[in-house]
Structure 1
Amino acid sequence: MSLAKEVRYLHADKMEVRSGTQEGEVLGIDGYVVKFNQRSQLIWGEFYERVAKGAFARSLQENTIKALWNHRTDFVLGSTKNSTLRLQEDEVGLRFELDLPNNSWGRDAFESIQRGDVDGVSFGFNVRQDAWQYLKEEDVYERTLLEVNLFEVSPTPFPAYADSEVNQRSIDQLGITTKEQRKLGKEILLFEIDLLAIG
Structure 2
Amino acid sequence: MIKEIRNSNNEITPILPESRTVSGYAIVFNSDSNDLGGFIERIDPNSLDGVVEKSDVLCLLNHNEDRGVLARSNKGEGSLTLEIDEIGLKYTFEAPNTALGDELLEGLRRGDISTSSFAFTVGKDSWSKMENGTYLRTINSINELFDVSPVYRAAYDATSVKADSRGLDAIKQQEKEELANYYKELRNKLK
Q: Fold-level match, TM-score > 0.5?
A: yes
User: d(CA) in 2 for partners of 1:35 and 1:151?
Assistant: 17
When structure 1 is superposed on structure 2, of 75-84 and 100-109 the one drifting more is: 75-84
In the alignment, is the contact (CA less than 8 A) between 1:55 and 1:145 conserved in 2? yes
Partner of 1:9: 7
TM-score, normalisation: structure 1: 0.70
| Equivalent residues, number | 153
Partner of 2:93: 98
User: After superposition, where does 1:115-134 map in structure 2 within 5 Å?
Assistant: 115-134=110-129
TM-score, normalisation: structure 2: 0.73
Q: Gaps spanning 5+ residues in structure 2: where? A: 158-191
For residues 105-130 of structure 1, the C-alpha deviation after alignment (integer angstroms, 9 at most, x for no partner) is 11111111121011111111110111
Deviation (angstroms), 1:161:
4.4
User: d(CA) in 2 for partners of 1:140 and 1:121?
Assistant: 24
Partner of 1:109: 104
- What is the aligned-residue RMSD (CA, Å)? 1.9
Instruction: Determine which structure has more spread, i.e. the larger CA radius of gyration.
Output: 1
Deviation (angstroms), 1:15:
4.4
Partner of 2:22: 29
Q: Gaps spanning 5+ residues in structure 1: where? A: 163-199
User: d(CA) in 2 for partners of 1:139 and 1:161?
Assistant: 20
User: d(CA) in 1 for partners of 2:57 and 2:11?
Assistant: 22
AA in 1 matched with 2:8: L
Please list every run of at least 4 consecutive aligned residues from structure 1 whose deviation after the TM superposition is greater than 4 angstroms. 15-20
For residues 15-67 of structure 1, the C-alpha deviation after alignment (integer angstroms, 9 at most, x for no partner) is 4466563xxxx6121121121101122221x2111001021232211111100
| 3-state SS of paired residue (1:70) | coil
Deviation (angstroms), 1:159:
2.0
Partner of 1:48: 40
| 3-state SS of paired residue (1:69) | coil
| 3-state SS of paired residue (1:111) | helix
Partner of 1:80: 73
AA in 2 matched with 1:37: N
* Structure with higher RCO (Cα < 8 A, 6+ apart): 2
